[in-house]
Amino acid sequence: MIITVILGVIEADAGWSVGAPETGLAAVDRDLLVDRDGHPWVPPSALAGSLRAHLAEHAADEDLMGSRPPDPSGDELPERSGEISEHPGGKRLKPSRLWLLGTRIRDRGRDAAPSTEVVAATAIDPRRRAALPTSLRHTRQVGRDSRIELYLQHDGPLADTDLQLLATWRPSIGRDRTRGGGSARLTRLAHRAYDLDDAGQLLAWLRSTGVDRFTGLTDITIPEPPDTMVLSADFEIVDPLHLGTGSDRTKAENGRKSTQAISRTRGGRPLIPGSTWKGLFRARTGYILRSRFGDAAACTQQTGCGQCRLCDLFGSAGRRGRLAFRDSALSKAHTTSRTQAAIDRVTGGARDKLLFTRQIVAAGRLTLLIQALEPVASWERNLLLHVVRDLHDGLIGIGGGAQRGDGTIRLSDQSLLADLQPVTEETSS
C-alpha cells in the first residue's frame, strides 16, 4: 500500500479574507475566519473548490477528488461500504483519493501570523454617481502578504501527469476576487511516497505525525502561469488624491478642534483599492454604453440586472464578473494635509465648528492592473481603454473631491492609447 503526501506553498497578496459568519460586532460588517488563537485561517474546504475547478478543466477531477454529488432528486446517498458505492439512480460514486488535510499561514516576510486590517467601502448609486446612503460597510482582511502551506495526502501512487497537473493549479483565496482580494499563486509543490509494505518506510510513517511526515520531499517544477493581463497602465498624480478609510479622528490645533479624514494606506504606503477601480470603471463603462446605444445597453440597477453587457463584464448579484481589479500601492508618494472650512450658504462666511482636515497625496505614481478571470473580448478591452483615456484627459477622477478637481491622474506613457478604437455597434456586439 502506498500513501503519497504533498506539500503546496501558496503566496497570497495582502487584501485576502475567507469570510466568517456574522459576529454581531458593530465595528465590522464582514469579518474573516480565524483559528482558535485569533489568527487568519484558510480551511482546506476554501481551497478544495478552486482545486477541483482546475482539475475539471482537464477532466481529472473525479479521478483525484471523487464523484460529484448527483443532481438533486430527493434521493438520499447510500453509505459507502467500499471503494465504489452506487446511487439509487444507478450512478457509481467514487470517494476522493485526494485529502486536503490542513493549512498553515505565515507572514511572507517573517515566521509569524499575518496582521489584519479593517477597511471601509461605500456602494455607488449608478444613477446619481455618488455614494449610496447607508451603504458604508467595514471588512476585516489580511493586511500583509502571506505564505499559505497546504498539506495534502493521496491514497495510492501519483502519476507524473497528475503531479504536473497539480503544479499548474492557479489557486484563489477567499472572497472579493474582482475587487483586489484573493490574488495568489502556487510557488512550490513537493511530494513523497510512503510504501507501507516496506518495513523501513512503514516505521518512518508510524514514527512521524502531522507536518513531520512532510520531510524528504521531491519538488516538482512550477511552470510559468498563463498571461491573464487585460490592461496595465502607469499613472502620475496631477491633482491631490484622497481615498478615505471610513473613520475620522479629531485633533486640537491652535486651541480649536478639527476633524481629520484619514487616507487609505497599507504598510505605510497610500493605496487605491481594487474596489475603487472597479466602481469607477463600471460606472464610466456604463455611461459610455448608454451614450452610444441607449439606456438598454447598460443597466443602472444597484445589484445589476444580470442581462446587459455591463453585468456580463463586471458581474451582478447572480454572477461574478470576468475582470479582476488589483490594488494599487502608490510609489514616490508625497502625503500632506489640507484644512478646509464649510461655508454658510446664508452669510457667505465660514460656518462655526465645521473646520475639517483631509490627508491627501499631492504627488506620486501608481499602476493600474486589470486581469481576466474569464475570456475578455477585444471590444471589451477597447471599452476599458476609453475609460483610461477619460482618466488621462481629466474627465473623471479618483477618490473624494473629484467633482472639485481632485483626484486627477495622467498616463506616464500614452502609447497605450494607440490601440484605442471607436466604440461602434460592430465592436460591441
Same domain, 267 and 409: yes
Quote the pLDDT of residue 26: 62
Geometric angle at alpha carbon 381, from 141 and 366, rounded to 5°: 50
Quote the pLDDT of residue 82: 45
CA atoms within 13 A on the CB side of 138: 14
Same domain, 411 and 313: yes
Query: What are the tens digits of pLDDT across the range 121-140?
Result: 888 777 776 777 888 888 89
Query: What are the tens digits of pLDDT across the range 75-113?
Result: 444 444 444 455 555 557 788 999 999 999 999 888 899
Average pLDDT over residues 260-264: 69
Same domain, 151 and 243: no
Rounded Cα gap, residues 141 and 278, in angstroms: 18
Domain count, the chain: 2
116: Cβ contacts below 8 Å, ≥ 6 apart: 32, 40, 140, 141, 142, 143
Same domain, 279 and 133: no
Average pLDDT over residues 53-79: 75
Q: Which among 196, 220, 244 is the end of a domain? A: 220
Quote the pLDDT of residue 14: 93
Quote the pLDDT of residue 256: 52
CB 403 within 8 A of CB 421: no
Same domain, 209 and 250: no
Domain containing 26 — which CATH number?
3.30.70
Quote the pLDDT of residue 80: 42
Q: Which among 185, 220, 255 is the end of a domain? A: 220
Q: Which among 220, 246, 269 is the end of a domain? A: 220
**Poorest-confidence range of 72-76, 171-175, 372-376, 387-391?**
72-76
Does the structure show a pLDDT above 70 at 425? Answer: no
Identify the three-state secondary structure at position 164.
helix
Cross-strand pairs, 138: 120
CA distances from 357 to 85, 136, 253, 284 (A): 68, 20, 11, 29
Residue type, 245: T
Same domain, 290 and 215: no
Q: What is the mean pLDDT of the chain?
A: 86
Quote the pLDDT of residue 168: 96
Query: What are the tens digits of pLDDT across the range 201-259?
Result: 999 999 999 999 999 999 999 999 889 999 999 999 999 888 876 555 555 555 555 55
**Poorest-confidence range of 98-107, 262-271, 340-349, 355-364?**
340-349
Quote the pLDDT of residue 77: 46
Residues in the chain: 429
One-character DSSP codes across 331-348? EEEEEEEEEEEEEPTTTS
Quote the pLDDT of residue 126: 74
Quote the pLDDT of residue 83: 47
CA distances from 64 to 43, 83, 94, 166, 195 (A): 19, 13, 10, 10, 19
Same domain, 58 and 175: yes
CB 11 within 8 A of CB 144: no
Q: What percent of the chain has pLDDT over 90?
A: 58
Quote the pLDDT of residue 327: 93
Same domain, 233 and 279: yes
Average pLDDT over residues 142-159: 94
Cell 507501507: give the residue.
196
Query: Grid coordinates representing 196?
Result: 507501507
Same domain, 254 and 329: yes
CB 243 within 8 A of CB 263: yes
399: Cβ contacts below 8 Å, ≥ 6 apart: 241, 242, 243, 244, 272, 276, 406, 407
Antiparallel, parallel or unpaired: β 350-372 and 256-263? parallel
Q: Count Cβ atoms below 10 Å from residue 410 Cβ, excluding itself.
A: 14
CA atoms within 13 A on the CB side of 69: 7
Q: Any idea what DSSP says for residue 222?
A: P
CB 19 within 8 A of CB 32: yes
Cell 505614481: give the residue.
365
Same domain, 212 and 248: no
Cell 484619514: give the residue.
262
Same domain, 198 and 128: yes
Average pLDDT over residues 145-172: 94
Quote the pLDDT of residue 358: 78
Does the structure show a pLDDT above 60 at 317? Answer: yes
Same domain, 325 and 185: no
Identify the three-state secondary structure at position 148.
strand
Rounded Cα gap, residues 371 and 228, in angstroms: 5
Quote the pLDDT of residue 32: 92
Which is more confidently placed, 340 or 225? 225
Q: In the structure, what pLDDT confidence band is assigned to residue 72 with cuts at 50, 70 and 90?
A: low
Q: What are phi and psi of 217, to 5 degrees?
A: -85, 155
CB 279 within 8 A of CB 286: no
Q: Count Cβ atoms below 10 Å from residue 338 Cβ, excluding itself.
A: 15
Highest mean pLDDT among 25-39, 76-90, 299-313, 412-426: 299-313
Quote the pLDDT of residue 163: 95
Task: Please tell me the pTM assigned to this model.
Answer: 0.85
Full domain range(s) for residue 203: 2-220
